[in-house]
Structure 1
Amino acid sequence: MRKAFLYPEYIALSLLFVAGCLCPGRVAAQHELGYVGELGFSVGGAQYMGDLNPRGALNTLKPAIGIYYRKYMNQYVGVRAHARFMQLGYSDVYNKNEFQHRRNLSFNTNLWEFSLQGDFNFFSFEPGSLDRRFTPYLTGGASIFHFNPYTYLGGVKYFLQPMHTEGQGTALYPDRKPYSLISYAFLIGGGFKYNISKKVNVGLEALYRFAQTDYLDDVSTAYAGPGAFPPLANGQPTVAYQLQDRSGVISTPIGVTGRQRGNSRDKDQFLTIELTFSILFTSYNCKF
C-alpha cells in the first residue's frame, strides 16, 4: 500500500505550491505584493553657515546632487544610505557687520558626503494605494564627508589648508594643529513624499548638518600675526601671509596678532534642500 504522501494528487499540489511561489504572475490571486525599498536621486541646493555666515542667511545656495537607497522596515519606518556631492561657499562681502565686512575673507569647497539616516513617516505610507500615497516625514542620522576649502588671489586658485592661515603647525603656535579634510556631521531634517504611480515616488526634503569641524571655511580662531608668515628671500610676502589677512584690500589691515578671526566655540553647519525622485522595488510573498 502506498503511503499517503506519495499519492499523485499530493505530489501535484506540492508542485503547484512551489510553482506559485516561483511564478507570481501566474498565480497572482495567491500572492501579496510588497514594497521592499527604493532607489532614488536627489537634486537641489546647499547652503553653508559658519564664521563667514553667522546669520545663517540662505543667499549663496550652490548645487547639490545625490543618490540613495531606502529600505522599508514597515509603513512608517525606513533606513537610508545616501551619497551626495555638493558645493559650499561664502564671502564677507555679503556681511553688513563692519568688522566682518572689513575682514574680507572668502572660500569655496567641493564636498563629498556619505550618510546613514533613519526616516519616520507621520502617516501610513502604501505606494500604489489611493488614500495612503502621501506623508510628511522626519529624518536623522550621521554622515562622513570630505572637503577642501579654496579661494582666489590675483585670479589664481589656492587651497587654504596647506597655507596654515591661522599659524597651524608653526613654532609660534604648537597647540594649533593642521585640521583634517575629513570630518563627520549629525543630521536632522524632514520633508514629504508622494507616490505618483506603483513604481515612482517624488518628494522634497530639507536636511540640516551639525558639522564636527570649524574649518569648512578655513576660519576658526585668532589671527596668527606676521611672525607666523616670514617673507620670501626677496622680501616679498608669501601667498599664505596675503590670504590670512585680506582686510588691507578694503582699508587699514585689522589682522593683528591675537585678534579674533573667527569663533572657535561654534562648529560650522550646512543645509541641503532637495527634490527627490525614486524607483520602487517590490516583492511577492506566497499567501495561502
Structure 2
Amino acid sequence: MLIPRQYPKYFLLSLLLVTGCLFTGRVAAQNELQYVGELGISIGGAHYFGDLNTRGALNALKPSIGVYYRKYMNDYVGVRAHARFMQLGYSDAYNKNEFERRRNLSFNTNVFELALQGDFNFFRFEPGSQFYRFSPYLTGGASIFHFNPYAYLDGVKYYLQPQRTEGQGTALYPDRKPYSLVSYAFLIGGGFKYNISRKVNIGLEALYRFTRTDYLDDVSTTYAGIAAFPPLPNGKSTVAGLLQDRSYVTGDPLGVPGRQRGNSRDKDQFVTIELTLSILFTSYNCKF
C-alpha cells in the first residue's frame, strides 16, 4: 500500500509524460512539408524567323535541349534559371518568293543560351495535392546567348562571320563592323504543367525570343558587291566572294552593290517548343 507522501513523485512523472506528448504534437503541427523548387530537363524543337524566313513558316524545326532550376516563391509565382542548347537554320530553297529563291542563301548555327525567367501560374499549383496539381502559366524574362552561323560550299563547312559577307571591315565599307557572336533576347511564352506524383512534374512550354541581333542568319543589309572580295592570285573567287552571293547557282548573279540582301529594320527571332520533366525538392518549415 502506497503512503501519501509518494503521490507527488508519480504525479510529477505523469505530468512530464503528458507535457512531452503535447510538445511533440505541437512541433509536428508547427512543421509543414513545403515544396521549395524543382530541377528539370526540357527537350523539344527550335525554329528561326528572320531575313531568310520572312513569312513565319514552321518548316525547319531543329532540336533543343535544356536543364533548369525553378525556385517556388509561393503557389502562384516562381523564378527560373534555364540553360539550353539549340540548333537553328533555314534555306531560301523553302521560300516561295521568286527573289528569295534566286538569292539562294542558307545557314545553320548552334545556340547556347542562359535565361532568367519569371513564371506565373493561372491557378494555384500545389504538388502532392489532389485538387491543385494542374495549371497553365505565363513566363517571361531575358537571356544571353552565343551563336555562330555557318554554311556549306562544295561540301565544306565555313563559318560565315569571319567571311564578312556584307563587306564588314573592308576598304569599301569601313562603316560596317563585324557583328558580335554574343547577343541577348527578351522572352515571352506560356505552357501547362501537371504534377503526376509528390516528386515529379511534367509540362509543355512554348517560348518566343525577340533578339537584339539581325545576324543569326548572317544576313542583314545590302550586297557589298564582288569588288569587296578581291580574287585569289590565280583569278578564282575567294570563299567569301562565293558565299556572299550564291545566286549564281540559280541564274545571273543578283549581288549588285547596294541591292537589298536582307532587312536591317527587323531583328531576328526564334521560338522553342519543349516538353519538361522535373524532380521536386521539399523542406520542413515552421508554420507558426
| Normalised TM-score (structure 1) | 0.91
Shift of 1:269: 0.1
Q: CA deviation at 1:28?
A: 4.9
- Report SS of the residue matched to 1:55: coil
Question: Per the alignment, do residues 195 and 226 of structure 1 end up closer, same or farther by CA in structure 2, a change over 3 Å counting?
Answer: same
Match of 1:3 in 2: none
Q: Which residue of 2 aligns with 1:156?
A: 156
User: Which residue pairs with 1:46 in the alignment?
Assistant: 46
Aligned to 2:123: 123
Query: 1-side partners of 2:19 and 2:221: how far apart?
Result: 77
Aligned-residue sequence identity (percent) comes to 79
1:93 and 2:93 aligned: yes
Q: Secondary structure at the match of 1:51?
A: coil
8 Å contact kept, 1:20–1:286:
no
Match of 1:4 in 2: none
User: Does residue 242 of structure 1 match 2:239?
Assistant: no
Distance 1:197 1:55, change over 3 A: same
Find the aligned partners of 1:211 and 1:105 in 2 and give their Cα distance. 21
Q: Partner of 2:130: helix, strand, or coil? A: coil
| Partner SS state of residue 142, structure 1 | strand
For 1:24, the equivalent position in structure 2 comes to: none
Cα separation, 1, equivalents of 2:120 and 2:184: 22
CA RMSD of aligned residues (A): 2.1
- Aligned partner of residue 242 in structure 1, secondary structure: helix
Distance in 2, Cα, partners of 1:227 & 1:98: 26
- Do the aligned partners of residues 168 and 205 (structure 1) sit closer, same or farther apart at CA in structure 2, a change above 3 Å counting? same
Equivalent position SS for 1:135: strand
Partner of 1:219: 219
> What corresponds to 1:62 in structure 2?
62
The amino acid across from 1:128 in the alignment is G
After the TM superposition, which residues 122-271 of structure 1 pair with which residues of structure 2 at under 5 Å, given as runs? 122-271=122-271
Runs of 4+ in structure 1 off by over 3 angstroms are 7-10, 27-30
Corresponding letter in the other structure for 1:84? R
Q: In the aligned structure 1, how far is the partner of 2:216 from the partner of 2:56? A: 15
Which residue number corresponds to residue 5 of structure 2? none
Question: Secondary structure of 2:162's partner?
Answer: helix
Quote the Cα distance in structure 2 between the aligned partners of 1:253 and 1:165: 15
Cα distance in structure 2, aligned partners of 1:31 and 1:115? 34
Which letter maps to 1:234?
N
SS at match of 2:243: helix
Output the CA distance in 2 between the equivalents of 1:105 and 1:99: 11
* Aligned equivalents of 1:74, 1:287: Cα separation in 2: 14
Structure 2 distance, partners of 1:84, 1:157, is 24
Number of matched pairs: 274
What are the residue-to-residue correspondences of 1:267-278 with 2, within 5 Å?
267-278=267-278
The CA distance in 1 between the partners of 2:69 and 2:82, in whole Å, is: 7
Note closer, same or farther for the CA distance 1:142–1:13 as it changes in structure 2 (3 Å cut): farther
CA contact under 8 A between 1:127 and 1:195: conserved in structure 2? yes
Distance across 2 between alignment mates of 1:101 and 1:184: 30
Looking at structure 2, the residues matched to 13 and 217 of structure 1 have their Cα atoms a distance apart, in angstroms, of 73
Change (3 A) 1:120 1:67: same
Give distance in 1, aligned partners of 2:77 and 2:226: 56
Question: Residue type matched to 1:102 in 2?
Answer: R
Q: Distance in 2 between matches of 1:114 and 1:30?
A: 39
| Cα shift readout 1:42-91 (whole Å, capped 9, x = no counterpart) | 00000000000011111000000000000000110000000000000000
Whole-Å separation in 2 of the counterparts to 1:282 and 1:216: 41
Q: Cα deviations across residues 234-272 of structure 1 (Å, max 9, x unaligned)?
A: 111000000000001011111111000000000000000
